[in-house]
């Protein structure tokens, strides 16, 4: 099952390139994150709060972009528009229907041995987009190992509140492959901290 979602990139697709350690912006043009620090995104939802640590090493462009969007308040008020029990919860779409994004994309192809196991946070993309393409839509894996190919840019891993993710993961109809939520799940506030 593909995680079909529009990244909203239009014609602005950016390719990933390696930046030197002295550069202060990532290849995406967003402020680079220090790979020596831990960056934690906290999502306060109307069903509880959970947090995940960003995977700066594997996805420097994706994480720099995501952090910039969090700091701008982009995710505040958005919903988890797709919930498939035992598979994923997906959010980050300003349109709320799986077709929206920030107006640009980044690319960080994941390692070929990537496994999408419970608690992994990754970026959604359409089947037509190259591996590792990311906009603003992300998903959190709620199944033990959902068997996805290594096509989705790694965003991070849940570091606290997996019980909240599990609870949100039950708010979908297991017989609906489109994952229309049975209850509205809103990201009330997204914040980022570093240590």
Confidence of residue 164 (pLDDT cuts 50, 70, 90): very high
Assigned domain for 88 exists: yes
Assigned domain for 72 exists: yes
Q: Could you tell me the CATH number of the domain that includes residue 99?
A: 2.40.100.10
> What is the rounded average pLDDT of the residues 114-135?
96
Assigned domain for 1 exists: no
pTM of the model: 0.86
pLDDT tens figures, 10-54: 333 333 333 333 335 555 567 789 999 999 999 999 999 999 999
pLDDT tens figures, 42-82: 999 999 999 999 999 999 999 999 999 999 999 999 999 99
Assigned domain for 2 exists: no
Assigned domain for 131 exists: yes
Assigned domain for 33 exists: no
Assigned domain for 44 exists: yes
The total number of structural domains in the chain stands at 1
Q: Around Cβ 128, how many Cβ atoms within 10 Å?
A: 7
Assigned domain for 6 exists: no
- Compute CA 18 distance to the chain's CA centroid, rounded to the nearest angstrom: 21
Q: Name every residue whose Cβ is closer than 8 Å to that of residue 55 and which is 6 or more positions away in sequence.
A: 63, 154, 155, 156, 157
User: In this structure, what token pair is assigned to residue 76?
Assistant: 């505040």
Structural domain of residue 59, as residue ranges? 39-194
């Amino acid at each position: 099952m593909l995680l079909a979602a529009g990244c909203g990139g239009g014609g602005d697709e950016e390719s990933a390139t390696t930046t030197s350690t002295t550069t202060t912006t990532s290849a995406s043009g967003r402020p680079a994150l220090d790979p020596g620090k831990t960056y934690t995104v906290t999502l306060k939802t109307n069903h509880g709060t959970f947090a995940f640590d960003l995977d700066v090493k594997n996805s420097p462009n994706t994480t720099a972009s995501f952090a910039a969007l969090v700091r701008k308040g982009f995710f505040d008020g958005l919903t988890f528009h797709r919930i498939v029990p035992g598979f994923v919860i997906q959010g980050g779409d300003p349109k709320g229907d799986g077709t929206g994004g920030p107006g640009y994309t980044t690319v960080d192809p994941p390692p070929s041995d990537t496994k999408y196991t419970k608690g992994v946070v990754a970026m959604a993309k359409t089947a037509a987009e190259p591996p590792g393409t990311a906009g603003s839509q992300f998903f959190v894996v709620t199944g033990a190992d959902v068997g996805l190919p290594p096509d989705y840019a790694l965003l991070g891993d849940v570091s606290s509140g997996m019980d909240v993710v599990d609870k949100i993961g039950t708010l979908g109809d297991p017989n609906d492959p489109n994952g229309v939520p049975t209850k509205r799940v809103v990201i009330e506030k997204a914040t980022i901290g570093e240590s």
